[in-house]
A and B are shown apart, each in its own frame.
Chain A
Amino acid sequence: MTRDELARHLEAARERVEPRWDEAREAHVGAGLPERARRHRRRRVALGAAAVLVVSVVAALVVSRRSVVRVEPLEGATVAALERSSQLERFRVETGGAWFEVEPGRGRLVRVEAQDVVVEVVGTRFLVERVEARVHVVVEHGVVRASARGVTRTLEAGASAWFPEETKRSAAGQGEPSAPPTQKPSPPSEAAAEARSLPAVPAEPLPLEASPPSPTPGSRKASPVVRPAPAQPAVDAGAPSWRALAQAGDFDTAWTVMKAAPAPRDEPAELLLAADVARLSRHPEEALAPLRRILDAHAADPRAPLAAFTLGRVLLDDLGRPREAAAAFERARTLAPGAPLAEDAFARQVEALSRAQSPEARALAEAFEQQYPASSRLRAVRHFGGLP
């Protein structure tokens, strides 16, 4: 196009380029404004939804690549991360011990090795600690499978075990724990206590555990285990408090001293410790009161679900009161509905109802199957619920 042509074009354009815009068209376009406004709103909503979807997918991808394990090494401990894939995360406890908290429902197996012990979990919180030539495993919630030298043990919430197992307990009740002490000789510092305590719990003594979850009275030969961080040191070295004795694993002496001592403080950690002293010294009936006290007065405490679960176990396994046990397990589920403990509690509730010959067992077993179709406890639940 030459400059002359362009000039002519422009002149024509200025004069002639006009739309066919008459009143009828103006009215028609104006009438369409509300509908177009609605279309704009729908498009904005759709774009917003698409943006949310994209963000969710990206977030899910990021989260799926994130570790499913929170590791809290004990003071001076060394933990090596050996492998992380979409299927497996593998750690090795080189020295000392560490708490491992595994997010449930992420479908990734977590394996922790310590010496020749291998602990495998899907969703739980547990401690693996090397103590001299042995390895100590404590499960706070969920279920873990621990194996060593061809021997495999399944540990439920609240259970602990030593590898290799030691069946001989020297002079039971004489205050000499057969397991090596898990504490350092000197009293732990406040910082150490804090580092060892649960994330949601202030630096208080942690509940004491010993032996597998359902020991029968008289057969309690498993080595006692002291969970870390005693916050209540013995007042008198010559006359140790029941707390110190319990933490050293001497539950029989702790029981004797506790009976003569003032009542335990009204704190969840202390009440849990008192309950453990009672049940592990073969006084399960006496364990009920402190556990019930936690549920009555400290239901919002993060340890309350564990207290309810423990109460259910004592009632079912030690006292043979399945109907009350079922109520306790149900309480544990209510207090921790999304936690791995809820699945365990649900399964044990079905078992308790079955043992109480309650017709509810079947319906609950069906509900369990619906809620946890991939549960490792499903077979047992179906058995207790009488499902085909």
Chain B
Amino acid sequence: MSTTPHLRLAGPPAVTVDDFYGRYARYVARLGFRLLGRDDGLDDLVQDVFLAAAAARVVSKSEHELRGWLATVTVRLAGRVLRRRRLARFFGLDEGPDERLLSSGAAPDTVAMMAQLYRRLDAAPTAERLAWTLRYVENEPLDEVARLCGCSLATAKRRIAAVQRLLTEDDDDA
């Protein structure tokens, strides 16, 4: 990847986007994929996260801080993609999860299971879906979910519970 001056990050010691990208692209891609539930749009999301990092002129932080910062940006931008998808679905322009787009080298039945899960998640409001995914798929603690979603702990709990109800409503009906 070529380094361009406008993508150089600020702060001593300087970290170029190339360095940054090389270190964290996989982490961002994994988180983004789990939030989106699909492979399409993932490349754009990863690029946007690193462009946001360049624009924010991130100063080098500890490994933990940098990951946390990237996760926050990824959640925010993934939320934007999901909202756009919901809008497209409303107008019949998005057909929802496609099993072929759910990548991984998983067995077909697992892929089908994931497709079913994300199809149900598509019905949830974006903010609630993000909170639930972070909590149960990413296994993040509740306070971290609240921080990544930019909401209070109570709100995070409420959002997670709402999706949980949505996903288990068959069981509840029974």
Interface residues of A (CB under 8 A from B): 1-3, 6, 8-10, 12-14, 16-21, 25-34, 36-37, 40
Contact = CB atoms under 8 A, between A and B. Distances in A.
10 contacts: A6-B167, A9-B114, A16-B104, A16-B106, A17-B37, A17-B137, A18-B104, A28-B43, A30-B21, A37-B4
B2 A31 contact: yes
Given A9-B114, A16-B106, A33-B4, 13 more contacts: A1-B167, A2-B171, A3-B168, A3-B171, A12-B106, A12-B113, A17-B33, A19-B33, A19-B104, A29-B46, A30-B1, A30-B21, A34-B7
A31 B2 CA distance: 7
Interface in B43-99: 43-44, 46-48, 50-51, 54
Contacts of A34: 2, 4, 7
Interface of B: 1-2, 4, 6-7, 17-18, 21-22, 25-26, 29-30, 32-34, 37, 39, 42-44, 46-48, 50-51, 54, 102-106, 110-111, 113-114, 116-117, 120, 136-137, 139, 167-168, 170-171, 174
Q: Give the secondary structure class of B's interface.
A: helix
Contacts of B6: 37
Contacts, number: 108
A1 B168 contact: yes
A17 B39 contact: no
B103 A20 contact: yes
A31 B120 CA distance: 35
Contacts of B17: 33
B52 to A, nearest CB: 10
A18 to B, nearest CB: 5
Contact of A19 (B7, B50, B103, B111): B103
A34 to B, nearest CB: 5
B18 A19 contact: no
Contacts of B46: 29
Nearest to B51: A37
B171 A19 contact: no
B113 A8 contact: yes
A232 B4 CA distance: 72
A1 B26 CA distance: 32
Contacts of B39: 19-20
B137 A13 contact: yes
B43 A32 contact: yes
B104 A33 contact: no
B168 A21 contact: no
Given A26-B25, A33-B21, A37-B54, A6 B30 contact: no
Contacts of B120: 1
B107 to A, nearest CB: 8
B104 A17 contact: yes
B103 A31 contact: no
Nearest to B139: A14
A33 B25 contact: no
Contacts of A19: 29-30, 32-33, 39, 42, 103-104
A33 B136 contact: no
